[in-house]
Each structure stands twice: as C-alpha cells, then as structure tokens.
A = this chain, B = another copy of it.
Amino acid sequence: MDDAVLREVIAPNQSKIVLMVLDGLGGLPHPETRRTELETADIPHLDRLAAESACGLTIPVAPGVTPGSGPGHLALFGYDPVRYNIGRGALEAVGIEFPLEPSDVAARGNFCTVDESGVITDRRAGRIPTERCVELCTLLREIDLPGAVALIEPVREHRFVLVLRGEGLSDDLAPLGTDPQHEGLRPVPVEARSAEAEPTARLFNEWIVKANALIKDKYPANAVLVRGFAKYPDLPSMQSRFGLNPAAIAIYPMYRGLAKLAGMQILTTGGTFEDEIATLREHWHEFDFFFVHYKKTDAAGEDGDFQRKVHALQEFDAHLPKVLDLKPDVLMIAGDHSTPAVMAAHSWHPVPFLLHAKLTRADQTDAFNEPSCQKGGLGTFPAREALQLALAHAGRFTKYGA
C-alpha cells in the first residue's frame, strides 16, 4: 500500500493480531497420491478454522520468484520486499543477533577447501562441525587491518560473519564477492562497484589474504570465501508504520533477527513449538501484535521428506487450539514461501493463507490446503498486503478520504 494512504488511515486501538508463520508452508502434490502435504495431513483445527475464515494464496515477492527467508518474512510484516531488499551479510549478522552499527559493513563468510594450486574443491569445506568453525574464527580474530577493525563471529558449520568497522566504509561491492559460485575455479578478488567503495574493497581483500595465510594448514577448511556485503538496513519500524507494539517468538536466530529489523521486541522462548505457544500466552497482555515462527515445515520440505512435513503440519495443528483460546481479534496463518518436499527446496508457488477475524467475509473454503485456498475469497494476492488486511479487520484503519 502507498505510504501516504497508510499514514492517512492508521488508527491504533487495543485489538490483538497474531501472525503465525509456518516456514515453507506451501507444497506440491506427491507423485503417487497426487495430494500435497497439506492435503495429506490430518489437520482438523486448521480445516475448521479455514471454514470460518477468509482464505487465499499469497505471492511472496512476484509471480515466479522464489524468495529467501528475508523477503518472505518482510512481506508478511507489511514491507515491500523489493524496496527493502536486505543484503546477505546484514541478514546473516542479524540472524546471529550481532549488534551491527550503522557504519559497519557485514559480509557472509564460508570456510572452503582449496587444492595446492588454489582451486576450490569444496565451497563448504565438507560442512565442518560448528566447534571447528568457532576455533577457526578465534584464530582469524588476530588479523589486524589499517584503519578498520575486523569482527568475526561463527554462525554454523562452515559459515561465519565478517564485519568491518571503521570510518567511511561502503557496501557498494559486487555481491558475489570472492565466491566464483562453482568448484573447480579460483576465488576472485572483492570488487568495488564505485570509486567510493575502493578503500573498502582493499580492506576486505587484505583481510582475505591474511586469513588464507593463517588457515592454509587447516585442511579441509584451508581458505575463506566472502560475499554479500551490506550495511545494516534502515527499515521504518512497525511501530511507526502501523502503530503496533509488536513482539516476536522464534527459535532460530535468523527469524528473530528479521523481526528485530522490523522493530519487534524479541521474546525469550524455549526450543519447542510448545515453548513458543507458552511464551505467547505468558506475554499476551504486553503486546498487540505477535509473530510466531514455526520452522519444522520448512526443514522437512528442504530435506525432501514429505511424511515429515505432513507430521510437522499435524504437530502445528495439534497446538493451534491453545492459540485460539486466547481469542485474538485477528489471526493469520501464513507461510513465508512454499517448500514442496518433492522439490526439496524453496519455490515460487503461491502460499496458503488464512485470516480469521470477526468481520471476514465468508468464502467457500472448508479445508486449509492449496486447491482450497486457491478458491478462497482473498484470491491470490501479494504477501505484503496481508498485514493491511489484518489491520483493517482489527479496526485499526479509518476511512480514506471524505
């Protein structure tokens, strides 16, 4: 929605909105049964809710475009994911809750394996254990640079975050960085896309030379690849845009980081979905918007495990009554993108969506799945419009124009 329209209609009240995101929710039919994960799962609470709700399918970014987690979530938080395109380095830093400062430039790092001639033989260094990554990062912290500080944090397996902190740094660097994207090639130097960014490119290149020298005997993690240079993205908060007092409940750091970018308060929670629901109930009176993230659907989809995704959906469904008991004014059940088990990857297919509120117009859906939502009253619509529908149903929009 046009920002000018939004500013004119926003009218906060005391209503409560819950956005439940089942990561990678959408699917494709199993080749044998011709039924999707949602059609296969026994999800009585979701089906009943669908019958009482307005349903539809969301397009995360644009028709045909497969989103990463960043754009997929930002759209559901009410941001245009193209206008607010977040660089990989910043997303990775945000994902480990690294306190990025506005002048920092963050990059995503990989440990990789190179042969004696410097050619990459494994871009992920055989996915070394996280403990090994921690050790290597400690070693890399020794590196000194002229006029800047290099901060290194391990992420998981072969992945780390590299942050340059100093004066006048620029993130106008070629985003693929030193990673040639294919094995059998040599790393390339970091390249500035403008004269202004040249000193920053030199600093990154100097750091890389020193890092490779330090770990050259640490096979299989005997070199680094660095890419996705980005400063901290400056998003207007959900408070200022939508007049909400929002909180996030998520187990994985990446989703907490994304929620924080949008200005959400991050609530401490345990390691299970049951813990997340308990956290929601505990903080129910403190906030008016809750984002609850459910990861298992995506993880199973990415692994190509159809049955595990079906079970993940059923587990979600079993816990749903505890959310309904809270009687939110608006409840959205959504996905950041599809992750069909038959593809074992994120996909572009529109994602089932449901909005439950007092004033939704009934449609003819009586089940929560892809073909049913395709016939839903909300139609197939951009995911970034979901929050404005929620705000409307929560009575948080006044009339536009006289």
Contacts and interface: CB of A to CB of B under 8 A. Distances in A.
Interface of A: 1-2, 4-5, 9, 28-29, 34, 36, 61-72, 81-82, 85-86, 88, 91-92, 108, 228, 340, 343, 346-349, 359, 361-364, 370-371, 374-375, 377, 379-381, 385, 388-393, 397-402
Given A5-B62, A63-B381, A348-B392, A343 B359 contact: yes
A163 to B, nearest CB: 16
Contacts of A1: 62-65
Contacts of A343: 359
A147 to B, nearest CB: 29
Nearest to A376: B374
Contacts of A393: 64
A26 B390 CA distance: 19
Contacts of A66: 9, 392, 397-400
Contacts of A62: 1-2, 5, 385, 388
Given A5-B82, A92-B402, A401-B81, A388 B349 contact: no
What copy number does this chain have within its complex? 2
Most buried by B among A70, A81, A374, A393: A374
7 contacts: A1-B64, A63-B392, A66-B399, A68-B400, A340-B359, A346-B399, A349-B359
A2 B66 CA distance: 14
A209 B32 CA distance: 74
A102 to B, nearest CB: 20
A159 to B, nearest CB: 11
Q: Which of A228, A346, A359 has the most CB of B within 10 A?
A: A359
A66 B81 CA distance: 25
A61 B5 contact: yes
Contacts of A346: 399
A389 B62 CA distance: 10
Contact of A400 (B65, B362, B374, B398): B65
Given A374-B363, A377-B374, A68 B402 contact: yes
